[in-house]
Amino acid sequence: MSNNISHKIRTDADKYPRTHIILITLFAVGLVSLPFDMLFTAIFGNDKTVVLSAEIFIRVILSAAALYFLFVYGYGKIIFNKVSFIGILSVIPAFIVALNNFPFVAFISRNAKFTADTAEIILYAIYCISVGVYEETVFRGLIFPLCIEISGGKKYGVFYAVLISSAIFGGVHLVNLLSDGGFGAVMLQTGYSFLIGGMCAISVCLSKNLFSAILIHTIFDIGGLIFGSPIGIAQGFQWDTLTVILTAVIGVIVAAYMLYRLFNLKYDEVKSLYKPNEN
Give the DSSP letter string of the chain. --HHHHHHHHHHHHH-HHHHHHHHHHHHHHHHHS-HHHHHHHHH-S-HHHHHHHHHHHHHHHHHHHHHHHHHTT-GGGGTSPPPHHHHHHTHHHHHHHHHTS-HHHHHTTSEEE-S-HHHHHHHHHHHHHHHHHHHIIIIIIIHHHHHHHHTT-TTHHHHHHHHHHHHHHHGGGGGGGTT--HHHHHHHHHHHHHHHHHHHHHHHHHTSHHHHHHHHHHHHHHHSTT-TTT--EEE----HHHHHHHHHHHHHHHHHHHHHHTT--HHHHHHHHPPPP-
pLDDT digits (tens, 9 = 90+) for 162-194: 999 999 999 999 888 777 667 888 898 899 999
Banded pLDDT at 246 (limits 50, 70, 90):
very high
**What is the average pLDDT value for the chain, to the nearest integer?**
91
Banded pLDDT at 34 (limits 50, 70, 90):
confident
How many percent of the chain have pLDDT more than 90?
75
How many percent of the chain have pLDDT more than 70?
97
Q: Which of 64-73, 208-217, 230-239 has the lowest mean pLDDT?
A: 230-239
Banded pLDDT at 279 (limits 50, 70, 90):
very low
Banded pLDDT at 199 (limits 50, 70, 90):
very high
pLDDT at site 218: 98
pLDDT at site 180: 65
Banded pLDDT at 2 (limits 50, 70, 90):
low
